[in-house]
Amino acid sequence: MNQYVVVCDHRRFGVNCSSVCNCRDNTSCNSITGHCKTGLCDPGWLGLSCDKGGNLIRRIRHQVSTQMSSEAKSTNSTFAVDGQLGPDPDKCQCCSITNNSPLSWWLLDLGKRYPLKSIVIFGRNNEDSYQQLKGFKLLLFNNTADDKPEMVLSNDSLHTIEENRYELTLNNTLARYIKIERPGVLTLCEVIVIEGNCIDGTFGKECVQFCHCADNKPCQTIHGYCQSPICKLGWMGKSCNESCSESTFGEECKQVCYCEESTCSSDYGICPGKCRYGYRGVHCNIEGIEEIEAAKTAVHSSSVVIGGSVAGGVVVIGILLLLVVLIYKQRMQRVKRNESENYYKTIHRNMAQVDDETTYDTIDISHDNQDQQNEEDNVRVTGL
């Protein structure tokens, strides 16, 4: 079986040689894998095959604009973003060069804010000899170039890859304006801006929209879709960027709270004050009027006792004294009544005894009178 290897044209690789590798300095790549032989890519390209576009300026070149403090040797500010490294300005019109001045600068406007992963700056050949980038500063702005810069970096803090090449990692810093300045002559042969991603929790144009995914997981950069369909408590929607409506809270805003004033917190449903009448519980979402009334009564009673402790104490003492007096009077009346009843019973008993003695005396008198009459009768008989 015959085997053969397909050899693609220069800087092409893959199936039917349909892919293009953008290797540094116009070098070739492997016809099958596309890996660059030098391992380096042209400015603005990434990956082992240098086939992944990364230069933001080349992608949005229709909307970017540039300015510079002055133009020397028939150059202009656009040469620094034309995609050509051209490290020798003496042989090509491929570098932006200013005149010598106390402060020279070059400004790039991206049209809107972008998250920036890194910036690569190329100077001219023999930079060590010309020193037309030495001591430069990199400034990033968000709104206008006249505002206070969001970040200021000097070339001392930049990572030097080659003698005329500087690369700075920006960790997805948001910026619209990029300014490079230094005293004296400033020469820039190419500026490459590598776009990053929105920081976690943001998405959309200029990364100004916020997603609230569960467990603080990042969302998709363009539409903000969360990796999982679960949002943080108090948020809902595909991008978890819709807050709960008033008086709703919790997961997907499915629970309802009934606060007396304002609304509850959208995450845990905590009311700022009391519950609405007829509701109770931590989230003011449990119905129960009887318990509420009982609680109100208890609270009112406690308030009365606590609020008027001195006056309440006097009232209590007065009531106790009154009760003692009433009880004493009742007892005295009961004693008097018992004494009266005993008195009358004694009188009746004594009177009964007197009646008995009188009866006996009457009988005795009657007997005495009868005896006397009999004696008189006996005398009369004797006389006769």
In a domain? residue 288: yes
Residue 179 in contact with residue 138, Cβ under 8 Å? yes
Q: Are residues 220 and 154 in the same domain?
A: no
pLDDT (0 to 100) of residue 345: 57
Other beta carbons within 10 Å of 250: 18
Number of domains within the chain: 4
Residues near 324 by beta carbon (within 8 Å), at least 6 away in sequence = none
Which of 31, 53, 75 lies at the terminal end of a domain, its last residue? Answer: 53
pLDDT (0 to 100) of residue 22: 83
Structure confidence at residue 117 as a pLDDT band (50, 70, 90):
confident
Between 51-55, 336-340, 344-348, the lowest mean confidence (pLDDT) is in 344-348
Residue with tokens 């001045």: 101
In a domain? residue 310: no
In a domain? residue 23: yes
For residue 363, give the 3-state DSSP assignment.
helix
In a domain? residue 285: yes
Which of 53, 76, 91 lies at the terminal end of a domain, its last residue? Answer: 53
Q: Are residues 156 and 44 in the same domain?
A: no
Cα-based torsion angle of the residue sequence 131, 96, 68, 137 in order, rounded to the nearest 10 degrees: -40
23-26, long-range: CB < 8 A, 24+ apart: 23/50, 24/50
Look at residue 67 and tell me whether its pLDDT is greater than 90: yes
Q: Are residues 84 and 181 in the same domain?
A: yes
Q: Are residues 160 and 266 in the same domain?
A: no
Residue 49 in contact with residue 13, Cβ under 8 Å? yes
Mean pLDDT of the chain: 78
Q: Are residues 112 and 186 in the same domain?
A: yes
Look at residue 17 and tell me whether its pLDDT is greater than 50: yes
Q: Are residues 167 and 118 in the same domain?
A: yes
Residue 193 in contact with residue 171, Cβ under 8 Å? no
In a domain? residue 281: yes
Strands 187-188 and 96-97: antiparallel
Q: Are residues 64 and 185 in the same domain?
A: yes
Residue 185 in contact with residue 72, Cβ under 8 Å? yes
Structural tokens at position 309? 């402790």
Distance in angstroms (rounded) separating the CA atoms of residues 226 and 234: 15
Residue with tokens 């604009």: 65
In a domain? residue 315: no
Kindly report, residue by residue over 96-109, the tens digit of the pLDDT: 999 999 999 999 99
Q: Are residues 220 and 162 in the same domain?
A: no
In angstroms, how far apart are the furthest CA atoms of the chain? 211
Residue type, 161: I
Structure confidence at residue 149 as a pLDDT band (50, 70, 90):
confident
Between 78-92, 139-153, 189-203, 369-383, the lowest mean confidence (pLDDT) is in 369-383
pLDDT (0 to 100) of residue 249: 92
State the DSSP code for 199. P
| Residue 229, CB-side half-sphere exposure with 13 Å CA sphere | 1
State the DSSP code for 53. E
**Closest Cα partner for 194 from 283, 117, 142, 279?**
117
Q: Are residues 112 and 156 in the same domain?
A: yes
What is the average pLDDT across 188-198? Answer: 88
Task: List Cα–Cα distances, 204 to 34, 209, 215, 219, 333, in angstroms.
Answer: 33, 6, 20, 10, 96
In a domain? residue 25: yes
**Closest Cα partner for 149 from 124, 127, 125, 174?**
174
Other beta carbons within 10 Å of 185: 17
Look at residue 362 and tell me whether its pLDDT is greater than 90: no
Q: Are residues 36 and 83 in the same domain?
A: no
In a domain? residue 311: no
Q: Are residues 40 and 88 in the same domain?
A: no
pLDDT (0 to 100) of residue 62: 87
Q: Are residues 230 and 260 in the same domain?
A: no
3-state percent breakdown (helix, strand, coil) of the chain, nearest 5: 30, 25, 40
What is the average pLDDT across 267-274? Answer: 90
Give the domain range for residue 227: 197-243
